[in-house]
Amino acid sequence: MSNFLEAISNICSNSTTKLKSQYSGRNTMNNMGESLEVFVQDAFSNSINEQDPHKRKQNISNTFSYIGNQNNPPDMILKNSDAIEVKKIQTMCSGIALNSSHPKDKLYKTDPKITQSCRDCEEWSVKDLIYTIGVTSDTHLKHLWLVYGDCYAADKNIYTRIANNIKKGIEGIPNVEFITTKELGKVNKVDPLGITDLRIRGMWGIQNPMNVYSDIYTLPNDSAFSLAALVNKEKYNSFPESSRASIENNESIYILDVHIKNPNNPAKLIKAKLITYKTL
């Protein structure tokens, strides 16, 4: 069964980081974000160098219980395991746009943003979430972050409280008709004729892991490609011994015990594993 560590091992065992030309023969890519998603799918399904499209399709089916779309999180779910959200940027330290979905420590089945097919893909209620953030040029993957949501984002109530207070404030405006939606809401009959409406949508963003974890990780300045991955120690130890061995026995992969701030209480520290890799 594929997992976080197996994907890291697959990436570090294959030198392919050329996105567009690598996948242009397999799929019609609307943008580099889609190409990065395919790279991530291949990393988790051990298909990075798979040239047979039918074999790759079977690998994907064997690995994932759900593959989503750009409008609803997550981008994919590993069978009986973690959810994955893929984000593409082209500037190494730029912020991460999350659009209408707030940061997530975990993925919850009750999340109104997810589709019914996601809820029904298997029996589940809560899943750990991996943010996979790729820094790309027009053709190549230059850096990849893989970080678990519970190392990166606060409890969901922190974010929903803000959204709910905004909704309450709008509802308090006199002489408007507030409609609850999957976004922040909608206001009808804004003008005296009652013919204008206002759609209210949140646009969430979060700082780049490069900035958030600058005290434990510095981007190598001599690399063609680099990878950094962060997972809490308890989760790391829960992976099969064979998966841990796949990276611990790779002399090119470095694993460091670190302490990071608890996203819910920065006075508390979380024991974590920082996994890094680079090619020259």
- Residues of 7-27 as b/e, b for ≥16 C-beta within 10 angstroms? bbbbbbeeeebebeebbeeee
**Is 178 found in the same domain as 142?**
no
**Is 172 found in the same domain as 126?**
no
pLDDT at 18: 63
**Is 174 found in the same domain as 220?**
no
The C-alpha atoms of residue 76 and residue 41 are separated, in whole angstroms, by 8
Q: Which domain holds residue 262?
A: 4-155+202-279
- Residues of 92-126 as b/e, b for ≥16 C-beta within 10 angstroms? eeeebebeebbbbbbbbeebebbeeebeebeebee
β-pair type (141-148, 177-179): unpaired
The C-alpha atoms of residue 92 and residue 134 are separated, in whole angstroms, by 9
**Is 259 found in the same domain as 168?**
no
**Is 180 found in the same domain as 125?**
no
**Is 143 found in the same domain as 189?**
no
**Is 61 found in the same domain as 37?**
yes
**Is 194 found in the same domain as 75?**
no
pTM of the model: 0.90
Mean pLDDT by 10 residues, the chain (280 residues): 94 73 44 79 92 94 93 93 95 90 96 94 98 87 96 95 86 80 83 86 93 95 92 98 96 97 97 95
**Is 172 found in the same domain as 34?**
no
Total structural domains within the chain: 2
**Is 92 found in the same domain as 45?**
yes
**Is 255 found in the same domain as 147?**
yes
**Is 177 found in the same domain as 97?**
no
β-pair type (64-69, 72-78): antiparallel
